[in-house]
Structures are given as C-alpha cells and as structure tokens.
Structure 1
Amino acid sequence: MAAPDRTERDITGLLNMAGHVLSNRLGAALADVDLTPRMQCVLIHALEEERTQIQLAALADLDKTTMVSTVDDLERRGYAERRPRRPTGGPGSSRSPRRGALPPRRASASSTGCTPTPCTR
C-alpha cells in the first residue's frame, strides 16, 4: 500500500530537526567556556538562589549520581563550590550540616547567552 500524499511537512520531523540543531549549537557555544549543556543548566538554577544539590538535581531533572559528578566537574573548573549547609534543627540540634551546591564564583547567566531549559543529560 502506498503512503498518502502529504501537502504539509511533518511537525514531528521538524521539531526533531530543530532540537538536534539547537543541541549542537548550544554544545558548541558552551564548549568555548568549558561547559556542557548539563553544567549550564545546573549553573542557571544555582544562580537564582542558594540551593542544595538535591534541589538543583530536581530542577535540572538529574539523578543524584549525575548531579554529584556534575558539581564535581563544575568545582574542578572553578565555576562552583560546595559549602556546608546550616543545620535546620535550631540551637542544640544533633543534626549535622549537609553539603550543598552554591552559585558559581566565575560564571554568570549572561556569560553563556543560553536559556536554562531544557537540561540535557
């Protein structure tokens, strides 16, 4: 059976092509500043306010292991640093501080010229 004649382009194919082009261009632009799209996504969310790694992972749609390795890479490159989080239990609390990711020291949202979403893995 022959395929029906089409008078319009397939939107699925067009969206796929646009996504591929965007991904390639974003990756190339970020490579100039030693970042990946995933790192850029995490940095954008970290710049908004001080957040823990768990909060950043949720915003960037990353699993815990991927988030840890991403922050490790950002620290090595000097874009971010980890600091102990303040205990939330109040005076005399036995709860120990957790380590969280903080906004970067070097990068800024405007330095990449890219939007924060979607985050690619």
Structure 2
Amino acid sequence: MSAVPEELRYTQEHEWVAIQESGTVRIGITDYAQRQLGDVVFTQLPEPGQRFATGDTIGEVESTKSVSEIYMPLAGEVLTRNTGLEDQPESLNEDPYGDGWMIEVRPDDPSELEGLLDAGEYAKLADNG
C-alpha cells in the first residue's frame, strides 16, 4: 500500500495537491506514481510565469523504466518550480510529498480543488491500480 496523506487532494493521473497557507498550491506526483515509475533520473518542469489550463501537460518525469507526463490538476499560473529536482531527481522516489514537490501554483479558481479526489477516494484508485 502506498502512502496517501489525508491533508492532500489527488488526481486520477496520480498527482497530489497541497494547499498552502498563502492560498497557493504545491503539486507533485504521488507515492504510488513514483513506485510505478521506478528510479527517477530526470524531470522537466515548467518555468515560473507560465499559465496552464486544467489537464494540460506541464512536464515529464523520466525513470529507468519509462517517461511519464505530468498534468496540471487545476488552472493557474506557475509561481515557482523545485529546482532541487534538477540535481536530485531521486527526491521524487525518496520523499514524493516533501522534498519531491514539483511546482507551486496560484490557482485561477480555488473551488476547482473541490473536484479533486480526497485521500480515501485516491487510496481506492491506487489500490485498484
């Protein structure tokens, strides 16, 4: 069973979303996703200032097994990206919910968060993998 923190929201494509006190959101891939990928060796993330619609491809993760696209869970502007992943992409494997975060976004419509999966719903999805 993969870790599924209760305080996060999730997508069907295995991204997580953490609401920050400032109203921004951090986005990353789930523990389940990193386990499926295997050893991560490279990440490609969007630049700050870029805007994306819900469901847009925002980057990719390359592992020893495959290359997977990362999707935007909710519309908004990228404020920052985790540049630490450039030198240490393995952080996605070691700490997907901590040091392995990918981008921070200012959502266009915070109510979109309500359409994401809660921990229980995501755990069922991941279990049925």
TM-score normalised according to structure 2 size = 0.28
More strand by share: 2
Of structures 1 and 2, the larger Rg is shown by 1
More helix by share: 1
